[in-house]
Amino acid sequence: MSDNPAQSPLWRKLLIGMAIAGLALITGFFAREWSQQKTAPELENATLYPSDFRPLPPLDLTADNGSRFSNEDLMGRWTLMFFGFTHCPDVCPNTLAVMAEAYEQLGDYQRDVQVVFVSVDPERDTLDKLGDYVGYFHKDFMGVTADEETLDEMAGRMNIFFEKETPDEHGNYEVNHSAAIFVINPEGRRHALMSAPHMPGAMGSDLKTMMEHY
Amino acid sequence: MRILTAALLCLLSAAAFADIQIKDARVPAAPPTASVLTAYMDLHNDGDSDRQLLGISGETFSRIEMHLSEVIDGVARMSAVDAIELPAGDTVSLKPGGLHLMMFNPAEPLTVGDEVTLTLEFDNGEAQTVVLPVAKRRVGGAHQHKHQHQKKHQHGHSTTP
Protein backbone atom coordinates (compact mmCIF):
# COMPACT_ATOMS: atom_id res chain seq x y z
CA MET A 1 0.00 0.00 0.00
CA SER A 2 1.19 3.41 -0.90
CA ASP A 3 1.66 6.21 1.60
CA ASN A 4 0.03 8.40 -0.97
CA PRO A 5 -3.13 6.65 -2.17
CA ALA A 6 -4.02 9.53 -4.49
CA GLN A 7 -1.01 8.80 -6.76
CA SER A 8 -1.34 5.04 -6.82
CA PRO A 9 -3.47 4.69 -10.02
CA LEU A 10 -1.01 6.84 -11.94
CA TRP A 11 1.95 4.67 -10.90
CA ARG A 12 0.01 1.60 -11.79
CA LYS A 13 -0.86 3.01 -15.22
CA LEU A 14 2.76 3.93 -15.82
CA LEU A 15 3.97 0.49 -14.81
CA ILE A 16 1.42 -1.25 -16.99
CA GLY A 17 2.29 1.05 -19.90
CA MET A 18 5.99 0.34 -19.53
CA ALA A 19 5.35 -3.39 -19.33
CA ILE A 20 3.32 -3.31 -22.53
CA ALA A 21 5.92 -1.24 -24.33
CA GLY A 22 8.68 -3.58 -23.17
CA LEU A 23 6.77 -6.63 -24.26
CA ALA A 24 6.09 -5.09 -27.66
CA LEU A 25 9.78 -4.31 -28.10
CA ILE A 26 10.83 -7.83 -27.17
CA THR A 27 8.15 -9.39 -29.39
CA GLY A 28 9.16 -7.16 -32.27
CA PHE A 29 12.80 -8.01 -31.83
CA PHE A 30 12.18 -11.75 -31.86
CA ALA A 31 9.70 -11.49 -34.70
CA ARG A 32 12.34 -9.74 -36.77
CA GLU A 33 15.00 -12.29 -35.89
CA TRP A 34 12.63 -15.12 -36.62
CA SER A 35 11.53 -13.70 -39.95
CA GLN A 36 15.11 -13.18 -41.06
CA GLN A 37 15.97 -16.77 -40.33
CA LYS A 38 12.88 -18.62 -41.36
CA THR A 39 11.10 -16.93 -44.20
CA ALA A 40 12.31 -17.29 -47.75
CA PRO A 41 14.24 -14.23 -48.84
CA GLU A 42 12.85 -12.13 -51.66
CA LEU A 43 14.97 -12.72 -54.71
CA GLU A 44 14.97 -10.84 -58.01
CA ASN A 45 15.87 -13.71 -60.32
CA ALA A 46 17.21 -16.74 -58.47
CA THR A 47 14.88 -19.59 -57.53
CA LEU A 48 15.63 -21.40 -54.30
CA TYR A 49 15.61 -25.18 -54.28
CA PRO A 50 13.14 -26.72 -51.85
CA SER A 51 14.45 -26.24 -48.32
CA ASP A 52 16.02 -29.71 -48.08
CA PHE A 53 18.97 -28.60 -50.18
CA ARG A 54 20.44 -31.73 -51.73
CA PRO A 55 24.19 -32.21 -51.80
CA LEU A 56 25.90 -32.26 -55.16
CA PRO A 57 26.81 -35.68 -56.54
CA PRO A 58 30.43 -36.73 -55.97
CA LEU A 59 32.56 -34.45 -58.13
CA ASP A 60 35.71 -35.68 -59.83
CA LEU A 61 36.85 -32.68 -61.86
CA THR A 62 40.19 -31.15 -62.74
CA ALA A 63 40.80 -27.44 -62.22
CA ASP A 64 42.61 -25.36 -64.83
CA ASN A 65 45.72 -25.30 -62.59
CA GLY A 66 45.85 -29.08 -62.76
CA SER A 67 44.60 -29.77 -59.24
CA ARG A 68 41.65 -32.01 -58.47
CA PHE A 69 38.32 -30.28 -57.89
CA SER A 70 35.97 -32.23 -55.66
CA ASN A 71 33.09 -31.62 -53.27
CA GLU A 72 35.58 -30.52 -50.59
CA ASP A 73 36.33 -27.48 -52.72
CA LEU A 74 32.72 -26.39 -52.31
CA MET A 75 32.83 -26.37 -48.51
CA GLY A 76 32.92 -23.17 -46.48
CA ARG A 77 32.11 -20.79 -49.30
CA TRP A 78 29.42 -20.04 -51.83
CA THR A 79 29.90 -21.22 -55.38
CA LEU A 80 28.42 -19.96 -58.64
CA MET A 81 28.72 -22.75 -61.20
CA PHE A 82 28.10 -22.33 -64.92
CA PHE A 83 28.41 -24.90 -67.70
CA GLY A 84 29.69 -23.93 -71.14
CA PHE A 85 32.60 -24.12 -73.56
CA THR A 86 35.14 -21.70 -74.98
CA HIS A 87 34.27 -22.18 -78.67
CA CYS A 88 31.20 -20.14 -77.97
CA PRO A 89 31.28 -16.47 -78.97
CA ASP A 90 27.96 -15.31 -77.55
CA VAL A 91 26.25 -16.95 -74.56
CA CYS A 92 29.32 -18.19 -72.65
CA PRO A 93 31.50 -15.06 -72.75
CA ASN A 94 28.48 -12.86 -72.04
CA THR A 95 27.54 -14.98 -69.02
CA LEU A 96 31.13 -14.89 -67.74
CA ALA A 97 31.19 -11.11 -68.19
CA VAL A 98 27.93 -10.78 -66.22
CA MET A 99 29.33 -13.01 -63.48
CA ALA A 100 32.49 -10.89 -63.34
CA GLU A 101 30.43 -7.72 -62.94
CA ALA A 102 28.24 -9.31 -60.26
CA TYR A 103 31.32 -10.62 -58.45
CA GLU A 104 32.77 -7.12 -58.39
CA GLN A 105 29.55 -5.83 -56.80
CA LEU A 106 29.84 -8.22 -53.84
CA GLY A 107 32.18 -6.05 -51.78
CA ASP A 108 32.86 -7.71 -48.42
CA TYR A 109 30.92 -10.79 -49.50
CA GLN A 110 33.34 -11.47 -52.35
CA ARG A 111 35.84 -13.41 -50.27
CA ASP A 112 33.15 -15.99 -49.46
CA VAL A 113 32.24 -16.60 -53.10
CA GLN A 114 33.95 -18.58 -55.85
CA VAL A 115 32.99 -18.72 -59.51
CA VAL A 116 33.51 -22.00 -61.35
CA PHE A 117 33.09 -22.47 -65.11
CA VAL A 118 32.64 -26.12 -66.06
CA SER A 119 33.69 -26.84 -69.64
CA VAL A 120 31.48 -29.44 -71.25
CA ASP A 121 33.86 -29.57 -74.23
CA PRO A 122 36.99 -31.27 -72.85
CA GLU A 123 38.03 -32.31 -76.36
CA ARG A 124 38.82 -28.72 -77.36
CA ASP A 125 39.14 -27.03 -73.98
CA THR A 126 42.54 -28.06 -72.69
CA LEU A 127 43.29 -26.97 -69.12
CA ASP A 128 45.67 -24.26 -70.33
CA LYS A 129 43.17 -22.87 -72.77
CA LEU A 130 40.38 -23.05 -70.22
CA GLY A 131 42.46 -21.26 -67.57
CA ASP A 132 43.43 -18.44 -69.94
CA TYR A 133 39.87 -18.07 -71.13
CA VAL A 134 38.16 -18.00 -67.75
CA GLY A 135 40.91 -15.93 -66.11
CA TYR A 136 40.40 -13.22 -68.72
CA PHE A 137 36.97 -12.44 -67.30
CA HIS A 138 38.22 -12.36 -63.70
CA LYS A 139 41.50 -13.46 -62.21
CA ASP A 140 39.68 -15.22 -59.36
CA PHE A 141 37.49 -17.33 -61.65
CA MET A 142 38.30 -20.99 -62.11
CA GLY A 143 37.73 -23.33 -65.03
CA VAL A 144 37.19 -27.02 -64.38
CA THR A 145 36.48 -29.98 -66.61
CA ALA A 146 36.62 -33.77 -66.80
CA ASP A 147 36.37 -36.47 -69.43
CA GLU A 148 33.07 -36.73 -71.23
CA GLU A 149 31.93 -39.79 -69.35
CA THR A 150 32.45 -38.11 -65.97
CA LEU A 151 30.73 -34.94 -67.19
CA ASP A 152 27.81 -36.99 -68.52
CA GLU A 153 27.32 -38.66 -65.18
CA MET A 154 27.63 -35.42 -63.24
CA ALA A 155 25.18 -33.68 -65.57
CA GLY A 156 22.68 -36.51 -65.29
CA ARG A 157 22.78 -36.39 -61.50
CA MET A 158 22.54 -32.60 -61.38
CA ASN A 159 19.78 -32.51 -63.96
CA ILE A 160 21.91 -30.45 -66.30
CA PHE A 161 21.64 -30.81 -70.02
CA PHE A 162 24.46 -30.71 -72.48
CA GLU A 163 24.70 -32.17 -75.93
CA LYS A 164 27.41 -32.07 -78.53
CA GLU A 165 26.10 -31.49 -82.03
CA THR A 166 27.37 -33.16 -85.19
CA PRO A 167 30.40 -31.29 -86.55
CA ASP A 168 29.87 -29.20 -89.70
CA GLU A 169 31.99 -29.59 -92.84
CA HIS A 170 34.75 -27.52 -91.19
CA GLY A 171 34.82 -29.77 -88.16
CA ASN A 172 33.26 -27.14 -85.92
CA TYR A 173 30.54 -28.23 -83.55
CA GLU A 174 28.23 -26.52 -81.10
CA VAL A 175 27.58 -27.78 -77.60
CA ASN A 176 24.07 -27.00 -76.43
CA HIS A 177 24.07 -26.58 -72.69
CA SER A 178 21.96 -25.51 -69.71
CA ALA A 179 21.91 -21.74 -69.51
CA ALA A 180 21.29 -21.57 -65.75
CA ILE A 181 23.84 -20.80 -63.07
CA PHE A 182 23.89 -23.04 -60.01
CA VAL A 183 24.26 -21.46 -56.59
CA ILE A 184 25.88 -23.94 -54.20
CA ASN A 185 25.90 -23.19 -50.48
CA PRO A 186 28.87 -23.58 -48.09
CA GLU A 187 27.75 -27.10 -47.19
CA GLY A 188 28.19 -28.13 -50.82
CA ARG A 189 24.45 -28.33 -51.40
CA ARG A 190 22.41 -27.03 -54.30
CA HIS A 191 20.85 -23.85 -52.99
CA ALA A 192 19.36 -21.97 -55.93
CA LEU A 193 19.23 -21.67 -59.70
CA MET A 194 19.69 -18.44 -61.61
CA SER A 195 18.09 -18.63 -65.02
CA ALA A 196 18.94 -16.73 -68.20
CA PRO A 197 18.91 -13.90 -69.13
CA HIS A 198 21.53 -13.09 -66.52
CA MET A 199 21.86 -9.56 -65.20
CA PRO A 200 24.75 -8.50 -62.96
CA GLY A 201 22.67 -6.35 -60.60
CA ALA A 202 20.13 -9.04 -59.79
CA MET A 203 22.82 -11.71 -59.60
CA GLY A 204 24.89 -9.76 -57.09
CA SER A 205 21.98 -8.72 -54.90
CA ASP A 206 20.36 -12.17 -54.95
CA LEU A 207 23.61 -13.75 -53.88
CA LYS A 208 24.03 -11.27 -51.03
CA THR A 209 20.43 -11.85 -49.93
CA MET A 210 20.92 -15.60 -49.86
CA MET A 211 24.15 -15.23 -47.91
CA GLU A 212 22.47 -12.93 -45.37
CA HIS A 213 19.60 -15.36 -44.86
CA TYR A 214 21.73 -18.45 -44.61
CA MET B 1 45.42 -8.40 -109.17
CA ARG B 2 44.14 -5.28 -110.93
CA ILE B 3 41.16 -7.21 -112.22
CA LEU B 4 40.41 -8.27 -108.70
CA THR B 5 40.69 -4.69 -107.44
CA ALA B 6 38.40 -3.45 -110.17
CA ALA B 7 35.87 -6.15 -109.44
CA LEU B 8 36.00 -5.34 -105.75
CA LEU B 9 35.48 -1.64 -106.39
CA CYS B 10 32.53 -2.36 -108.66
CA LEU B 11 31.02 -4.46 -105.95
CA LEU B 12 31.61 -1.82 -103.31
CA SER B 13 30.23 0.95 -105.49
CA ALA B 14 26.83 -0.66 -105.14
CA ALA B 15 26.92 0.38 -101.49
CA ALA B 16 26.39 3.95 -102.58
CA PHE B 17 22.74 3.04 -103.12
CA ALA B 18 22.47 0.90 -100.04
CA ASP B 19 19.37 1.36 -97.98
CA ILE B 20 20.52 -0.85 -95.16
CA GLN B 21 21.83 1.34 -92.38
CA ILE B 22 24.23 -0.27 -89.97
CA LYS B 23 24.38 1.12 -86.47
CA ASP B 24 26.10 0.34 -83.20
CA ALA B 25 28.32 -2.27 -84.81
CA ARG B 26 30.97 -3.64 -82.46
CA VAL B 27 33.08 -6.66 -81.66
CA PRO B 28 33.01 -7.42 -77.92
CA ALA B 29 36.51 -7.94 -76.59
CA ALA B 30 37.25 -11.58 -75.82
CA PRO B 31 40.15 -13.58 -74.33
CA PRO B 32 43.28 -13.35 -76.53
CA THR B 33 43.20 -17.12 -77.00
CA ALA B 34 39.55 -17.17 -78.15
CA SER B 35 39.24 -19.02 -81.45
CA VAL B 36 35.82 -17.56 -82.18
CA LEU B 37 34.65 -13.97 -81.82
CA THR B 38 31.28 -12.40 -82.34
CA ALA B 39 30.02 -9.10 -83.70
CA TYR B 40 26.80 -7.29 -82.88
CA MET B 41 25.03 -4.50 -84.76
CA ASP B 42 21.66 -3.03 -85.67
CA LEU B 43 20.59 -3.34 -89.31
CA HIS B 44 17.92 -0.91 -90.36
CA ASN B 45 16.23 -1.42 -93.72
CA ASP B 46 15.41 2.10 -94.84
CA GLY B 47 14.18 0.94 -98.24
CA ASP B 48 10.77 -0.04 -99.57
CA SER B 49 11.49 -3.70 -100.17
CA ASP B 50 12.37 -6.56 -97.90
CA ARG B 51 15.99 -7.62 -98.01
CA GLN B 52 18.19 -10.42 -96.82
CA LEU B 53 21.69 -10.48 -95.43
CA LEU B 54 23.27 -13.47 -97.13
CA GLY B 55 26.84 -13.51 -96.01
CA ILE B 56 29.71 -11.73 -94.31
CA SER B 57 33.38 -11.80 -95.07
CA GLY B 58 36.39 -10.36 -93.35
CA GLU B 59 40.02 -10.83 -94.29
CA THR B 60 41.19 -11.36 -90.75
CA PHE B 61 39.01 -14.42 -90.12
CA SER B 62 39.09 -17.85 -91.70
CA ARG B 63 35.33 -17.68 -92.15
CA ILE B 64 32.29 -15.89 -90.76
CA GLU B 65 28.87 -17.38 -90.18
CA MET B 66 25.57 -15.97 -89.04
CA HIS B 67 24.29 -17.68 -85.90
CA LEU B 68 21.31 -17.63 -83.64
CA SER B 69 21.45 -18.30 -79.89
CA GLU B 70 18.23 -19.26 -78.21
CA VAL B 71 17.38 -20.44 -74.73
CA ILE B 72 14.74 -23.15 -75.11
CA ASP B 73 13.50 -24.84 -71.95
CA GLY B 74 16.54 -23.60 -70.09
CA VAL B 75 19.01 -24.89 -72.66
CA ALA B 76 21.19 -22.50 -74.67
CA ARG B 77 21.17 -23.65 -78.29
CA MET B 78 23.26 -22.23 -81.09
CA SER B 79 22.65 -22.76 -84.77
CA ALA B 80 23.88 -21.33 -88.05
CA VAL B 81 21.41 -19.45 -90.23
CA ASP B 82 21.69 -19.11 -94.02
CA ALA B 83 20.23 -15.62 -94.20
CA ILE B 84 18.93 -12.85 -91.99
CA GLU B 85 15.63 -11.35 -93.09
CA LEU B 86 15.54 -7.55 -93.12
CA PRO B 87 11.90 -6.46 -93.57
CA ALA B 88 11.37 -3.04 -95.16
CA GLY B 89 11.25 -0.29 -92.56
CA ASP B 90 12.38 -2.55 -89.72
CA THR B 91 15.48 -2.78 -87.58
CA VAL B 92 16.96 -6.18 -86.86
CA SER B 93 19.45 -6.34 -84.02
CA LEU B 94 22.35 -8.71 -83.86
CA LYS B 95 22.73 -8.83 -80.10
CA PRO B 96 23.76 -10.95 -77.09
CA GLY B 97 21.65 -14.07 -76.79
CA GLY B 98 20.11 -13.70 -80.26
CA LEU B 99 21.32 -13.33 -83.83
CA HIS B 100 25.05 -12.74 -83.94
CA LEU B 101 28.10 -13.33 -86.11
CA MET B 102 30.43 -16.23 -85.47
CA MET B 103 33.88 -15.26 -86.69
CA PHE B 104 36.39 -18.10 -86.76
CA ASN B 105 40.13 -18.01 -86.10
CA PRO B 106 41.05 -14.33 -85.85
CA ALA B 107 44.42 -13.70 -87.54
CA GLU B 108 45.69 -12.14 -84.34
CA PRO B 109 44.34 -11.43 -80.85
CA LEU B 110 42.20 -8.30 -80.75
CA THR B 111 41.95 -5.88 -77.88
CA VAL B 112 39.79 -2.87 -77.07
CA GLY B 113 40.58 -0.09 -79.52
CA ASP B 114 41.38 -2.40 -82.45
CA GLU B 115 39.17 -2.38 -85.51
CA VAL B 116 37.70 -5.12 -87.67
CA THR B 117 36.61 -4.61 -91.27
CA LEU B 118 33.72 -6.72 -92.51
CA THR B 119 31.84 -6.83 -95.78
CA LEU B 120 28.14 -7.62 -95.68
CA GLU B 121 26.55 -9.11 -98.77
CA PHE B 122 22.87 -8.69 -99.49
CA ASP B 123 20.41 -10.58 -101.68
CA ASN B 124 20.20 -7.80 -104.28
CA GLY B 125 23.91 -8.09 -104.96
CA GLU B 126 24.88 -5.06 -102.93
CA ALA B 127 27.76 -5.20 -100.52
CA GLN B 128 28.54 -2.88 -97.68
CA THR B 129 31.76 -2.54 -95.78
CA VAL B 130 31.70 -1.75 -92.08
CA VAL B 131 34.52 -0.97 -89.71
CA LEU B 132 33.71 -2.25 -86.22
CA PRO B 133 35.54 -1.19 -83.08
CA VAL B 134 36.61 -3.87 -80.63
CA ALA B 135 34.87 -2.69 -77.47
CA LYS B 136 34.45 -3.76 -73.87
CA ARG B 137 31.70 -6.35 -73.62
CA ARG B 138 28.45 -4.78 -72.42
CA VAL B 139 26.57 -6.51 -69.65
CA GLY B 140 23.26 -5.94 -67.99
CA GLY B 141 21.26 -5.04 -71.06
CA ALA B 142 22.15 -1.37 -70.84
CA HIS B 143 21.97 -0.33 -74.45
CA GLN B 144 24.23 2.63 -74.80
CA HIS B 145 24.61 3.95 -78.28
CA LYS B 146 28.16 4.91 -78.77
CA HIS B 147 29.59 6.65 -81.76
CA GLN B 148 28.96 4.77 -84.90
CA HIS B 149 31.72 3.30 -86.96
CA GLN B 150 30.37 2.80 -90.38
CA LYS B 151 32.22 3.35 -93.56
CA LYS B 152 30.20 3.53 -96.69
CA HIS B 153 32.23 3.18 -99.80
CA GLN B 154 31.08 5.85 -102.16
CA HIS B 155 31.20 5.54 -105.93
CA GLY B 156 33.95 3.19 -106.93
CA HIS B 157 36.58 4.69 -109.16
CA SER B 158 36.59 2.77 -112.37
CA THR B 159 39.97 1.48 -113.24
CA THR B 160 40.71 -0.14 -116.53
CA PRO B 161 42.40 -3.43 -116.10
Tell me how far apart the alpha carbons of residues A95 and A180 are, in angstroms, rounded to a whole number. 10
A200 in Cβ contact with A98 (< 8 Å): yes
Asked whether the beta carbons of residue A177 and residue B75 sit closer than 8 angstroms, the reply is: yes
Is A197 close to B102, i.e. CB distance below 8 A? no
Closest CA of chain B from A191, distance in Å: 18
Could you read off the pLDDT of B28-57 as tens digits, one per residue? 999 999 999 999 999 999 999 999 999 999
Question: Hey, is the C-beta of A197 within 8 angstroms of any chain B C-beta?
Answer: yes
Cross-chain residue pair A101–B139, CB shorter than 8 Å: yes
Order of all β-strands in the sheet with A61-63: A47-48, A190-194, A181-184, A78-84, A113-119, A142-145, A61-63, A68-69
Position B11 pLDDT exceeds 60? no
Inter-chain CB pairs, A–B, below 8 Å:
98
CB contact under 8 Å between A176 and B104, yes or no, is no
Phi and psi, residue A184, nearest 5°: -115, 130
Please say if the pLDDT value at position B159 is more than 90: no
Give contacts of B137 with chain A, Cβ < 8 Å.
93-94, 97
Is the CB of residue A93 less than 8 Å away from at least one CB of chain B?
yes
Ranges under pLDDT 70 in chain A? 1-8, 28-39
Tell me the pLDDT tens digit for each residue of A69-80.
Answer: 999 999 999 999
> Alpha-carbon distance A143 to A186, whole Å?
19
Q: pLDDT tens for residues B89-118?
A: 999 999 999 999 999 999 999 999 999 999
Q: Are B153 and B129 in contact (CB under 8 A)?
A: yes
Residue B5: what pLDDT?
A: 61
Q: What pTM did the predictor assign?
A: 0.80
In tens, the pLDDT along B55-75 reads 999 999 999 999 999 999 999
Spell out which residues of chain A touch residue B103, defining contact as CB-CB under 8 Å: 89
- Computed on alpha carbons and rounded to an integer, the radius of gyration of chain B in Å comes to 16
DSSP H or E stretch at residue A182? strand A181-184
pLDDT at residue A28, as a whole number: 66
| Contacts A171 to B, Cβ<8 Å | none
Asked if the Cβ–Cβ distance from A172 to B77 is below 8 Å, we say no
Type of residue found at A27: T
Picking from B61, B78, B132 by the largest number of A CB atoms within 10 A of its own CB, the best residue to mutate is B78
Say if A205 is an interface residue toward chain B (CB within 8 Å).
no
Q: Is A126 exposed, middle or buried, given 0-12, 13-18 or 19+ CB atoms closer than 10 A?
A: middle
Nearest CB to B71 within list A137, A168, A196: A196
Residue B82 backbone dihedrals phi, psi, to 5 degrees:
-80, -30
Largest CA distance in chain A: 105
Chain B positions in Cβ-Cβ contact with residue A98 (cut-off 8 Å): 139-140
Model pLDDT, residue B155: 38
Q: What is the pLDDT of residues B122-155, one digit of tens each?
A: 999 999 999 999 999 999 754 433 333 333 343 3
Count of Cβ atoms closer than 10 Å to residue A5 Cβ: 8
Contact A99, A141 (CB under 8 A): yes
Chain A: residue nearest B96 by CA?
A90
- Helical spans, DSSP H, in A79-147: 91-104, 127-137
Confirm or reject contact between B104 and chain A (CB < 8 A): yes
Query: Residues B139, B141, B142, B145: is their CA dihedral positive or negative?
Result: positive
Nearest to A93 among B30, B78, B80 (CB): B30
| Residues of chain A with C-beta less than 8 angstroms from the C-beta of B116 | none
Residue pair B51/B123 in contact by the 8 Å Cβ criterion: yes
ipTM: 0.78
Report the chain A residue with the minimal C-alpha distance to residue B105. Answer: A87
Question: A126 with A152: CB under 8 angstroms?
Answer: no
